[in-house]
Amino acid sequence: MKVKKGDRVKVIAGDDRGKIGKVLKVFPDEERVLVEGVNIITKHQRPTLTIREPGIIKREAPIHVSNVKVICPECGVPTRIGYTFVEGRKKRQCKHCKAAFD
C-alpha cells in the first residue's frame, strides 16, 4: 500500500470529504486505513468484567484506501504517490512536485 502509518491524508470521497487527518493504523489485507477524526461511529458499550464504564462511545472506523490522498510533506498538496529508486532504495515520490520522501 502507498499509504503508511503517520501520513497526513485528505479524504476525497464520502461523508467526510475534505477532512484532513493523520493515519493511525493501516489494514493492508482489507485495503483500509484508520484516519484520526474521520468516519466517527457511535458504539453502545455494555459493562463487563474488563470494561467497567457503560455508555455510548464515539470512535473512528476504517475507510477504504481509495478514498484518501496523501498530502506531500514538501509541497503540501494532496497527491498521488509513485515510487523511485534513490541510492538503491525504493522511496515514495510525489507525482506533483517529484520530491522523494520516506
Residue 58 lies in a domain: yes
pTM for this entry: 0.87
Residue 31 lies in a domain: yes
Q: How many residues does the chain have?
A: 102
Query: Block means of pLDDT (10 residues each) for the chain, length 102 residues?
Result: 95 96 98 97 91 89 97 94 91 93 80
SS (H, E, C) the chain: CCCCCCCEEEECCCCCCCCEEEEEEEECCCCEEEECCCCEEEEEECCCCCCCCCEEEEEECCEEHHHEEEECCCCCCEECEEEEEECCEEEEEECCCCCEEC
Q: How many domains would you assign to the chain?
A: 1
- The whole domain housing 70 covers 8-101
Residue 65 lies in a domain: yes
- In this prediction, residue 51 carries a pLDDT of 76
CATH code at position 34 = 2.30.30.30
- In this prediction, residue 55 carries a pLDDT of 92
Residue 1 lies in a domain: no
